[in-house]
């Protein structure tokens, strides 16, 4: 099974976009998205230096635009991707790239949101001098304890041996002087304490804008940074992306879900290398492909062919229907909802229970229950379709 992933801020490097502009259609798309983002992304992706593209308001739109453009170069006909990609995930701002790739939002919506996200986060970061530091190695519990001791937040948990601490510059300086035993510290090329309480003003701004974004349920399973759950609702995806600005990224849980889904190959879109590097350490035996330059496209397509989901993707069928899918592994509680039942918008339809949690799934748009795909008490895996519903209206927020 193939998982497509998109990196977050800090992955950008000067000139990384240059070779991609020679791919037919890419320069035109980047020029169009530059207008949407109100930034000259061609300039920033080809000529700007490292300090310039470190700016949050520049880095984030540049990352999302390059990721979507490369994905479209890899899959010129998006419907092909929906039949081959088993799941998508993005790290931090890469979630917007993933959401567009899964068909939950349009590329233009992604670029509008990332434009405002970058500006709002840059504004929030300007209030107090903050930053982030990667903690490499050490005992995880000891690392988390030391982070808490210095009043910092574990803003990213990227799996074994990599946790990112975030907070004020003074807190990070004290942390550097008193690091966790057996760990190495590396300052990150970011201009703020992202995914912490310092970003609360940015959440408020994005939440206001998100109300006007038209969404669709994703065409492939979407794995969320919040908790590694598979999310089936386009509205929920956007809401999670907004709230995630001030909440820790749990990439470790995303990778656990990938493992449960049966991932065999992970392909990272440009500027690639960060997430495939993490996967090599955390997901032993899973093949990876870092798509960095367009001369790798043929090899990338071969990689896709080797790992493409052989089974039919149920999320890509019958677009007039909607599916509720399991957010995590557990068992199903169907209750008394029978085939033919009319569900009101927001009505509880089915529950998934695991050893540690229980989640009630709702029929977001209401509709008629067409078909149950599981029986009461059945074990289910993340992303498994549970029930098919004919909706009353299209999704929008």
Closest CA to 67 of 14, 3, 2, 7: 7
CATH 2.40.50.100 occupies which residues in the chain? 318-390
CATH topology assigned to domain 318-390: OB fold (Dihydrolipoamide Acetyltransferase, E2P) (2.40.50)
Asked if residues 189 and 55 have their Cβ atoms less than 8 Å apart, the reply is: no
CATH 3.40.366.10 occupies which residues in the chain? 2-123+197-307
Per CATH, is 125-187 categorized as 3.30.70.250?
yes
Cα 317 to the center of its chain, rounded Å: 23
* Residue 195 designated active-site: yes
Asked if residues 12 and 53 have their Cβ atoms less than 8 Å apart, the reply is: yes
Asked if residues 190 and 283 have their Cβ atoms less than 8 Å apart, the reply is: no
Closest CA to 121 of 57, 189, 208: 57
What are the two backbone dihedrals, phi and then psi, of residue 314, each rounded to the nearest 5 degrees? -65, -25
9-20 burial: b if 16+ Cβ within 10 Å, else e: bbbbebebbebb
Secondary-structure breakdown of the chain: helix, strand, coil percentages, each rounded to the nearest 5: 40, 20, 35
* Architecture of domain 2-123+197-307 in this structure: 3-Layer(aba) Sandwich (3.40)
Cα 291 to the center of its chain, rounded Å: 17
pLDDT score recorded for residue 320: 56
Residues 6+ apart with CB under 8 A from 319: none
Residues 6+ apart with CB under 8 A from 365: 322, 345, 391, 392, 393, 394, 395
**3-class secondary-structure state, position 374:** coil
**3-class secondary-structure state, position 170:** helix
pLDDT score recorded for residue 319: 52
Which of 150, 195, 198, 307 is catalytic? The answer is 195
Closest CA to 163 of 149, 145, 178, 189: 145
Q: What is the full per-residue pLDDT of the chain (397 aa) written as tens digits? A: 999 999 998 899 999 999 999 999 999 999 999 999 999 999 999 999 999 998 989 999 999 999 999 999 999 887 777 889 999 999 999 999 999 999 999 999 999 999 999 999 999 999 999 999 999 999 999 999 999 999 999 999 998 789 999 999 999 999 999 999 999 999 987 778 999 999 999 999 999 999 999 998 898 999 999 999 999 889 999 999 999 999 999 999 999 999 999 999 999 999 999 999 999 999 999 999 999 999 999 999 999 999 997 655 556 544 556 888 999 999 999 988 998 899 998 899 999 999 888 999 988 888 899 889 999 999 998 988 899 898 765 444 3
Give the containing element (helix H, strand E) for 331: strand 330-333
**3-class secondary-structure state, position 111:** helix
112 vs 114: CA distance, rounded Å:
6
Asked if residues 395 and 215 have their Cβ atoms less than 8 Å apart, the reply is: yes
Which of 92, 109, 131, 233 is catalytic? The answer is 92
Asked if residues 82 and 32 have their Cβ atoms less than 8 Å apart, the reply is: no
192 vs 121: CA distance, rounded Å:
8
* Residue 307 designated active-site: no
Residues 137-141: contacts with CB under 8 Å, at least 24 apart:
137/161, 137/182, 137/183, 137/184, 138/180, 138/181, 138/182, 138/183, 139/180, 139/181, 139/182
What are the two backbone dihedrals, phi and then psi, of residue 69, each rounded to the nearest 5 degrees? -60, -45
Closest CA to 93 of 37, 25, 172, 22: 37
Radius of gyration of the chain from Cα atoms? 21
pLDDT score recorded for residue 395: 41
């Amino acid at each position: 099974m193939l998982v497509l992933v998109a990196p977050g801020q800090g992955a950008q490097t000067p000139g990384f976009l240059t070779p991609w502009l020679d791919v037919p259609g890419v320069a035109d798309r980047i020029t169009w998205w530059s207008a949407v983002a109100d930034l000259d992304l061609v300039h920033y992706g080809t000529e700007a230096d490292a300090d310039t593209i470190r700016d949050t308001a520049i880095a984030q739109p540049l990352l999302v635009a390059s990721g979507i453009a490369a994905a479209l170069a890899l899959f010129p006909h998006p419907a092909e991707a929906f039949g081959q990609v088993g799941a998508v995930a993005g790290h931090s701002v890469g979630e917007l790239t993933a959401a567009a790739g899964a068909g939950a939002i349009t590329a233009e919506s992604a670029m509008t949101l990332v434009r405002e996200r970058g500006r709002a986060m840059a504004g929030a970061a300007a209030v107090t001098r903050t930053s982030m530091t990667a903690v490499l190695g050490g005992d995880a519990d000891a690392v988390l304890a030391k982070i808490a001791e210095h009043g910092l937040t574990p803003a990213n948990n990227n799996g074994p041996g990599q946790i990112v601490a975030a907070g004020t510059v003074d807190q990070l300086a004290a942390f550097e002087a008193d690091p966790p035993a057996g760990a190495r510290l590396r300052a990150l090329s970011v201009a703020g304490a992202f995914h912490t309480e310092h970003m609360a003003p940015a959440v408020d701004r994005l939440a206001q804008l998100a109300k006007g974004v038209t969404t669709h349920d994703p065409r492939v399973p979407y794995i969320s940074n919040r908790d590694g759950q598979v999310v089936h609702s386009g509205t929920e995806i956007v809401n999670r992306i907004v709230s995630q600005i001030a909440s820790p990224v749990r990439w470790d849980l995303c990778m656990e879900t990938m493992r449960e889904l049966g991932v065999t190959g992970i392909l990272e879109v440009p500027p690639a290398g960060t997430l495939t590097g993490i996967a090599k350490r955390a997901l032993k035996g899973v093949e990876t492909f870092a798509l960095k330059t367009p001369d790798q496209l043929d090899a990338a397509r071969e990689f896709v062919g080797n790992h493409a989901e052989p089974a039919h993707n149920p999320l890509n069928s019958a677009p007039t229907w909607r599916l509720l899918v399991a957010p995590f592994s557990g068992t199903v509680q169907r209750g008394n909802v029978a085939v033919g039942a009319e569900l009101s918008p927001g009505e509880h339809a089915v529950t998934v229970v695991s050893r540690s949690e229980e989640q009630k799934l709702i029929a977001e748009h209401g509709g008629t229950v067409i078909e149950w795909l599981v029986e009461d008490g059945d074990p289910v895996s993340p992303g498994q379709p549970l029930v098919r519903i004919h909706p009353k209206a299209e999704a929008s927020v």
